């Protein structure tokens, strides 16, 4: 399938003259000046430091995530964005626009050409070649916008799933900035293409040298890109819509409201000068002091009152519960209420008690007598609904429990191992003594008695010899 001319990376340059002399009027000078202004807008965006920084960030992310993130859909979408950016770079649109600037007359040349009546401008083949470049760049830019939107959607979906949260925050922020920049490039290309067509019509009427014989240039980029991408060229920005809505709302305000708003805005404030406020702020000050007085007097807000009432109601229901089945229902309702009120500590404690309640419920169904456990659990549930004072032993923090119990288990294990070693040694000694026969035991005792008598007789002879007997 043959590739369209505008879809090629390297569009062949026409083998024809690049510039021709045409009649030059004030209208033609204005068209050339507008064309150069639109060209500057496109080059300013393509060469902006912001765009280059975001593209470098995209390259760095793809380099870092190449191995660990390769199979992810967001990574694949980012690779498609990179492909569009690289193809736009390889088109060398900035070089073509720079050549257009060299062929167009500057301000002084335009002023002299108006007096002379003739001027050198780009030829029809050159203008058609630049139009093809602009069409290809516009199609690539719209494709880049679609890829950025798709990658943004995938990254946002992963953030909802709480996967790679920090990485997806970086990716979404980068993609949003890229989308805004490339949308500005697309708008600038639309204005540039419109001015190119106007100058092309003037040049083709005077010096016709058609370069495109099998392809006709579209009337505008909206027709070329299609209805889906044409919305990007016609849809106003969100801040302009909000500004128009504010203006319309301000027009609908009555005269007295406008006067009050202007009085509030005109507040003279300077360093070292007393601030002059309007009378309307006195009511706000009084209400503020009244609110502070209620806090100092210890009056609770309606939200605090409703929480206290709900806690008392829960505690009453817990005390009246006759079994762990009823307690599980009450605790589950309280957990949902704590979640809606964003009471994290109470929710965690009650969730822990809910697990314990389910275990006790199984024992209760098996027929065990757990009335004492039921009373203890009621006290724990009442404390968990409003945790104040010293906590019960069963509701201590999991970290401290793990640390203490871990130490106890280690010492207990070491003690058991030592006892097991001593017991094994005693058992081995008993087995050794059992193997000895009775004769061996008797011969051993006789040998010990002979030794003792021999030692005794020798000691007596030594005593008499020392006395001279």
Percent of the residues in the chain that have a pLDDT greater than 70, as a whole number: 64
User: Do 228 and 347 share a domain, yes or no?
Assistant: no
- Asked, for residue 54, whether it belongs to a domain, the answer is yes
The answer to whether residues 200 and 127 touch, using CB atoms and an 8 Å cutoff, is: yes
First vs last C-alpha separation in the chain? 141
User: Do 324 and 220 share a domain, yes or no?
Assistant: no
User: Do 188 and 58 share a domain, yes or no?
Assistant: yes
Segments forming the whole domain that contains residue 19: 5-233
pLDDT digits (tens, 9 = 90+) for 443-469: 555 555 554 444 444 555 555 555 455
- Asked, for residue 239, whether it belongs to a domain, the answer is no
- Asked, for residue 460, whether it belongs to a domain, the answer is no
User: Do 31 and 123 share a domain, yes or no?
Assistant: yes
Whole-number Å distance between alpha carbons of 93 and 138: 11
pLDDT of 270 strictly over 90: no
Residue among 25, 19, 201 at smallest CA distance from 118: 25
pLDDT of 25 strictly over 80: yes
Whole-number Å distance between alpha carbons of 199 and 391: 84
- Asked, for residue 463, whether it belongs to a domain, the answer is no
The answer to whether residues 140 and 212 touch, using CB atoms and an 8 Å cutoff, is: no
- Asked, for residue 364, whether it belongs to a domain, the answer is yes
pLDDT digits (tens, 9 = 90+) for 106-153: 888 888 888 888 888 888 888 888 888 888 899 899 999 999 999 999
Determine the Cα angle at 115 with ends 110 and 121, to 5°: 35
pLDDT of 299 strictly over 60: no
pTM as predicted = 0.51
Q: Provide the 8-state DSSP code for 248.
A: H
User: Do 177 and 30 share a domain, yes or no?
Assistant: yes
Reported residue count of the chain is 469
Whole-number Å distance between alpha carbons of 157 and 148: 14
| 197, 202, 207, 210: CA torsion to nearest 10 | 20
User: Do 192 and 86 share a domain, yes or no?
Assistant: yes
Distances in Å between the alpha carbon of 219 and those of 193, 196, 246, 248? Answer: 9, 11, 36, 35
Q: Which of 233, 259, 275 is the last residue of a domain?
A: 233
User: Do 173 and 315 share a domain, yes or no?
Assistant: no
User: Do 311 and 224 share a domain, yes or no?
Assistant: no
Q: What is the mean pLDDT of the chain?
A: 75
- Asked, for residue 281, whether it belongs to a domain, the answer is no
pLDDT of 419 strictly over 80: no
* DSSP H/E element including 119: strand 118-122
Q: Provide the pLDDT for residue 271.
A: 41
User: Do 199 and 345 share a domain, yes or no?
Assistant: no
Q: Provide the pLDDT for residue 309.
A: 82
Q: Which of 233, 252, 276 is the last residue of a domain?
A: 233
Joined together, the tokens standing for residue 65 give: 């995530």
Whole-number Å distance between alpha carbons of 337 and 347: 9
Residue 92 phi/psi, 5° resolution? 55, 50
Q: What is the mean pLDDT of residues 192-215?
A: 83
Distances in Å between the alpha carbon of 32 and those of 9, 45, 134? Answer: 27, 20, 17
CB atoms within 10 A of CB 36: 20
Residue among 58, 142, 44 at smallest CA distance from 94: 44
User: Do 183 and 331 share a domain, yes or no?
Assistant: no
Q: Which of 233, 254, 282 is the last residue of a domain?
A: 233
Exposed (0-12), middle (13-18) or buried (19+): which is 97, by Cβ within 10 Å? buried
Task: Report how far Cα 118 is from the mean position of its chain's Cα atoms.
Answer: 60
pLDDT digits (tens, 9 = 90+) for 301-352: 555 567 888 888 888 888 888 888 888 888 888 888 888 888 888 888 888 8
How many domains does the chain fold into?
A: 2
pLDDT of 162 strictly over 90: no
- Asked, for residue 277, whether it belongs to a domain, the answer is no
Whole-number Å distance between alpha carbons of 194 and 155: 36
Percent helix, percent strand, percent coil in the chain, to nearest 5:
75, 0, 20
Of 68 and 396, the structure prediction assigns the larger pLDDT to: 68
Which residues lie below 8 Å from residue 161, measured CB to CB, with a gap of 6+?
A: none
Whole-number Å distance between alpha carbons of 377 and 371: 10
- Asked, for residue 456, whether it belongs to a domain, the answer is no
């Amino acid at each position: 399938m043959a590739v369209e001319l505008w879809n090629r990376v390297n569009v062949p340059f026409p083998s024809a003259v690049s510039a021709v002399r045409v009649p030059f009027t004030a209208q033609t000078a204005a068209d050339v000046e507008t064309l150069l202004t639109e060209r500057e807008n496109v080059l300013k965006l393509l060469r902006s430091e912001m765009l280059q920084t975001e593209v470098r960030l995209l390259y760095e992310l793809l380099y870092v995530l190449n191995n660990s993130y390769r199979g992810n859909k967001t990574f694949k979408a980012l690779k498609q964005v990179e492909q569009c950016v690289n193809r736009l770079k390889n088109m060398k649109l900035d070089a073509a626009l720079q050549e257009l600037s060299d062929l167009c007359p500057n301000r002084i040349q335009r002023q002299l050409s108006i007096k002379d009546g003739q001027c050198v401008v780009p030829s029809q083949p050159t203008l058609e070649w630049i139009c093809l470049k602009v069409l290809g760049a516009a199609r690539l830019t719209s494709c880049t916008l679609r890829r950025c939107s798709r990658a943004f959607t995938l990254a946002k979906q992963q953030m909802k799933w709480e996967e790679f949260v920090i990485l997806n925050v970086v990716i979404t922020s980068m993609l949003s900035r890229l989308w805004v920049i490339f949308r500005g490039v697309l708008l600038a290309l639309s204005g540039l293409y419109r001015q190119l067509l106007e100058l092309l019509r003037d040049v083709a009427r005077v010096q016709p040298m058609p370069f495109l014989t099998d392809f006709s240039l579209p009337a505008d980029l909206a027709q070329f890109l299609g209805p889906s991408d044409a919305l990007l060229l016609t849809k106003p920005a969100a801040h302009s819509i909000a500004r128009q809505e504010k203006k319309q709302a301000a027009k609908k305000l009555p005269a007295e409201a406008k006067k009050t708003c202007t009085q509030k805005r005109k507040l003279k404030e300077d360093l070292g000068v007393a601030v002059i406020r309007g009378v309307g702020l006195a009511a706000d000050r009084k209400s503020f002091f009244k609110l502070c007085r209620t806090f100092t007097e210890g009056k609770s807000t309606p939200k605090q009152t409703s929480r206290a009432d709900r806690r008392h109601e829960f505690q009453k229901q817990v005390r009246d519960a006759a079994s762990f089945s009823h307690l599980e229902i009450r605790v589950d309702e309280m957990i949902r209420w704590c979640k809606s009120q964003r009471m994290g500590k109470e929710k965690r404690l009650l969730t822990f008690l809910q697990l314990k309640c389910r275990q006790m419920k199984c024992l209760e169904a098996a027929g065990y007598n757990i009335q004492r456990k039921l009373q203890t659990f009621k006290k724990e549930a009442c404390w968990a609904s409003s945790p104040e004072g010293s906590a019960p032993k069963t509701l201590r923090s999991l970290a401290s429990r793990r640390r203490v119990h871990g130490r106890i288990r280690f010492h207990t294990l070491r003690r058991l191992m030592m006892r097991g070693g001593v017991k094994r040694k005693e058992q081995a000694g008993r087995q050794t003594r059992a193997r000895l026969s009775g004769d061996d035991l008797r011969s051993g005792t006789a040998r010990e008695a002979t030794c003792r008598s021999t030692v005794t007789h020798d000691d007596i002879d030594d005593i008499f010899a020392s006395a001279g007997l």
